[in-house]
Structure 1
Amino acid sequence: MSKAFDAIIIGAGQAGPSLAERLTDAGMKVLMVERKLFGGTCVNTGCMPTKTLVASAYAAHLARRCANYGVTIAAPITVDMKRVRERAATVSYNSRTGIEKWLRGMNGCTVIQGHARFIGAHEIEIDGEVFTAPRIFINAGGRANVPDMPGIDQIDYLTNTSILDLDTLPKHLVVIGGSYIGLEFGQMYRRFGAEVTIVEKGPRLIAREDPDVSEAVKEILEGEGIACRLNAECISFKPHTEGTEVGLDCSSGDRKAIGSHVLLAIGRRPNTDDLGLDKAGIDTDERGYIKVDDELSTNVEGVWALGDCNGRGAFTHTSYNDFEIVAANLLDGESRKVSDRIPGYALFIDPPLGRVGMTETDARKAGQTLLVSKRPMTRVGRAVEKDETQGFMKVVADADTRKILGAAILGTGGDEAIHGILDIMNADVPYPTLQWAVPIHPTVSELIPTLLSDLKPAQ
């Protein structure tokens, strides 16, 4: 015999709990199912623990540079990796338990910790029990991708999840993958004191960014002693007395790297392969992502997919926005769409990269008449005062509409300052509106009007 609910939510990640609150507030009886850890990737293996580690790494880096600020520390700088790990774990635990307590205390919400599998379009099974609802929301998240590379089954390796359990310092961390996860972990462990090598199959780091951004990031990392091995077309692994021998087919340099530890940071995959989606007739693409329309509905009426499992955004903030879209359309009579979302994100190395909208490369490919402006962070008083002048600001605008198409701020505070541009793009007004703003001095954002005033036709 099945148990009936008004709505079922599969996964207590970023979108699920807030959706449960909106649905229960609307008088619905809701079943929340979480198979493992409340809070999803962000709370448990993503943003919260990693940014806590980044903060610890920054503290160590700043301490080593204290003489630049006229500060003297008598003792050598050391890092207590057990305390570092404990601090990150505590931040995650507090958030995770807070979310679980919130859900379990929510009127109208039943919480089950177990593995949900579809057995029909609007039926799921959990540990032998059947539950039904006319509305089902899938918020199953994703996990580290582990490609079938030569020798991978012969070695012990780390992912972004398992590396969080490390409470000792690797002698030499070899990071496979030169994108966001790999670069953040690479820099933090270098600052903790490990030797670090980043291995990237492509010709440059973070390939989705403009070449000048990629090159500047590479220079920042190499300036801290990180080895970047690009064009590693053939990567292989085999056990070594010191850990793992990573075979490299690079255009230059050694053909191998010996790592005490190997971190695989080669993208993500959705947690959709064991949900029984075929029993419900729910369509997925070739990578396993659930296909959704512009309002996040699947091909099955009454079933939605939110967050990392739908392939429409791989960030905490896009997952939360998925919730906002679904809730607004279902409960508030609105017509919100994913296509209205202006993409924004950050790379949390130090200094961070804040990004919004199109890259200059993509804007050129689109054939638009462009205005471009670029200024080094050495022109930012706040950066000079902090002795953190690496990086630059760049903005791209449409010459005809005078609206901003995209921007990058690689520099201290770039992850925060980018929001001024993100906001003006969401307001959908010409850039002079922001150009004539009067920002506070001394801040990183104060250079943005100057950057906009220097927009010139792209060469």
Structure 2
Amino acid sequence: MSEPTLDFDLAVIGSGGGAFAAAIRASNLGKRVLMIERSTLGGTCVNTGCVPSKALLAAAEARHGALDAAGRFPGISTSTGPVDMAALNGGKRSLVETMRSEKYADLISDYGWELSHGNAIFAGTPDDPVLEITAEDGVRESVRAAHYLVATGSVPWVPPIEGLQDTEYLTSSTAMELEEVPDSLLVIGGGYVALEQAQLFARLGSKVTMLLRSRLASTEEPDASRALMDVFADEGIRVIRSATLSSVRTDPATGGIVANATISGRQEEFRAAKVLVATGRRPVTEDLNLAAVGVKTGDRGEILVNSQLTSSNKRIWAAGDVTGHRQFVYAAAAHGSLMVENAFTQAGREVDYRHLPRVAFTSPALAAVGMTDKEANEAGIRCECRVLPLKYVPRALVNRDTRGLIKIVADADTGRILGITAVAKDAGDLAAAGVYILEAGMTVEQVANLWSPYLTMAEGIKIAAQSYTTDVSKLSCCAA
């Protein structure tokens, strides 16, 4: 019996960062590629995630800088007026549309793969998987490919809280479409998205309260959490820990939100104009009929993949948020390229997250790479750590903002640096430098004696390394 005819070498479901990385790499290898998108081209990052949120965060930081400048810099006088949220969103949408066109739609023409607008579900059998695609006009077609990539991303996850579904609650996506800045905002969650959204709206003029079960950025260093707590307190953001939300309702008199929560064993009521739920995201897999083609999923619907990104069906792969792995667009893009190399060149490459940088775009930003102190200890490594307050970093002094820190985690026996965490302006750039330091296996001594340009925040990494053997409070500001 002859093999079924293949229509494409690779069929990609989704059109975000992971999908495009895969399609580009496969096209460069001369493969026939089909991309299927049921909604807006570009996926989460450009449409509802990284690009729009960081555009609004930049605007909020500019406004906050104007308000804050007089207190930080003698001789500077500034003022701000109310925020025109509709105009701000208009500028954001214009940026998104431009990037969607130049970085996504135009590339399809440049590389020459096919794009199908419609809904795709799997059919056939595990041995002969097929995609059934229903186009926007209702026309259906069946597509066979040598390999399939599921890159459908994730959406905000909303916990089952009594009354929440009956309110007009916000998520990280819908919050960025508000036409007015709410007078007050209750943020549920303490992760990266919650951090960014809370500070965003506080700086636009909302009175913000955060309810979180543990602490801010609970997967990162406690030192970083404490630094952000201080920053948020300075900016009037109320952070309430050990909080469990039990019910939410709309106040008929005001139209606002009334939330009941348990705080360290006691009941407390919170009122706000709006409530934003930022408690994580869930993979988008429920309508793909994955079971029919032998693809296993986890408790949250994530596609279970091995280190080479193959699912339980060797012809079906997954990339990005849909895998349940770390939810960064650069991780998704790396997944897409890696999957193609493994599928078509038998590269046997594996995902390695050891030196994956993590960034929350607060201001100052939180960024980290490698192990935390806790992770090193749990791995059985005898570690030695140093925490450098930013008051010892000349760039921070010049900026008149010493809120934050740089922390180094090192192997006590070898001096090798295992992790770097920073709460600082441009902390993401410090994490990028940290990737290279960790990848090279550099020691504290090596970093302490390397060149570093004066009056850069990156110089703080060198000073933090010097603090292992030197009292940095006694260094001249220009001393090597």
Identity %: 31
Query: Which residue of 2 is the match for residue 200 of structure 1?
Result: 212
- Name the aligned partner's letter for residue 158 of structure 1: L
1:254: Cα distance to partner?
7.5
Query: Which residue of 1 is the match for residue 19 of structure 2?
Result: 16
Alignment CA distance shift 1:74-1:61 (3 Å): closer
> Residues 63 and 77 of structure 1 are in contact (CA less than 8 Å); yes or no, is this contact kept in structure 2?
no
Q: 2:442 & 2:143 partners in 1: Cα distance?
A: 48
Query: Which residue of 1 is the match for residue 45 of structure 2?
Result: 42
Alignment CA distance shift 1:131-1:355 (3 Å): same
Q: 1:33 & 1:362 partners in 2: Cα distance?
A: 40
- Name the aligned partner's letter for residue 59 of structure 1: A
Find the residue that maps to 2:263 and give its secondary structure.
coil
Alignment CA distance shift 1:107-1:227 (3 Å): closer
- Name the aligned partner's letter for residue 200 of structure 1: L
Find the residue that maps to 2:39 and give its secondary structure.
coil
Query: Which residue of 2 is the match for residue 388 of structure 1?
Result: 401
Find the residue that maps to 2:243 and give its secondary structure.
coil
Alignment CA distance shift 1:327-1:424 (3 Å): farther
- The alignment status of 1:304 with 2:317, answered yes or no, reads yes
1:218: Cα distance to partner?
1.2
- The alignment status of 1:27 with 2:30, answered yes or no, reads yes
1:18: Cα distance to partner?
2.3
Query: Which residue of 2 is the match for residue 210 of structure 1?
Result: 221
2:100 to 88, 96, 111: 96
- The alignment status of 1:432 with 2:445, answered yes or no, reads yes
Q: 1:76 & 1:325 partners in 2: Cα distance?
A: 48
Q: 1:380 & 1:58 partners in 2: Cα distance?
A: 22
TM-score computed with the length of structure 2 as normaliser:
0.90
TM-score computed with the length of structure 1 as normaliser:
0.94
1:111 to 115, 129, 134: 115
Which stretches in structure 1 are left out of the alignment for 5+ residues?
none
> Residues 403 and 431 of structure 1 are in contact (CA less than 8 Å); yes or no, is this contact kept in structure 2?
yes
Q: 1:2 & 1:103 partners in 2: Cα distance?
A: 28
1:419 to 432, 444, 448: 432
Aligned residues: 455
1:333: Cα distance to partner?
5.2
CA RMSD of aligned residues (A): 2.0
Q: 1:383 & 1:201 partners in 2: Cα distance?
A: 32
Query: Which residue of 2 is the match for residue 157 of structure 1?
Result: 169
1:65: Cα distance to partner?
1.7
Find the residue that maps to 1:158 and give its secondary structure.
coil
2:242 to 231, 237, 244: 231
> Residues 9 and 16 of structure 1 are in contact (CA less than 8 Å); yes or no, is this contact kept in structure 2?
yes
After TM superposition, the structure 1 = structure 2 runs for residues 58-457 of structure 1, keeping only pairs within 5 Å, are 58-67=61-70, 68-73=72-77, 76-120=80-124, 121=126, 122-127=129-134, 128-202=140-214, 204-240=215-251, 241-242=253-254, 243-251=256-264, 255-331=268-344, 334-339=347-352, 341-455=354-468
Q: 1:176 & 1:153 partners in 2: Cα distance?
A: 14
> Residues 28 and 108 of structure 1 are in contact (CA less than 8 Å); yes or no, is this contact kept in structure 2?
no
Comparing 105-114 with 142-151, greater Cα deviation is found at 105-114
1:363: Cα distance to partner?
1.4
> Residues 319 and 335 of structure 2 are in contact (CA less than 8 Å); yes or no, is this contact kept in structure 1?
yes
> Residues 198 and 228 of structure 1 are in contact (CA less than 8 Å); yes or no, is this contact kept in structure 2?
yes
- Name the aligned partner's letter for residue 55 of structure 1: A
Q: 2:20 & 2:381 partners in 1: Cα distance?
A: 41
> Residues 69 and 78 of structure 2 are in contact (CA less than 8 Å); yes or no, is this contact kept in structure 1?
no
1:113: Cα distance to partner?
1.2
Alignment CA distance shift 1:8-1:71 (3 Å): farther
Deviations 1:248-293 (A, max 9, x none): 1113898111111111101000001111111111011111110111
1:103: Cα distance to partner?
4.3
1:86: Cα distance to partner?
1.5
Q: 1:150 & 1:267 partners in 2: Cα distance?
A: 18
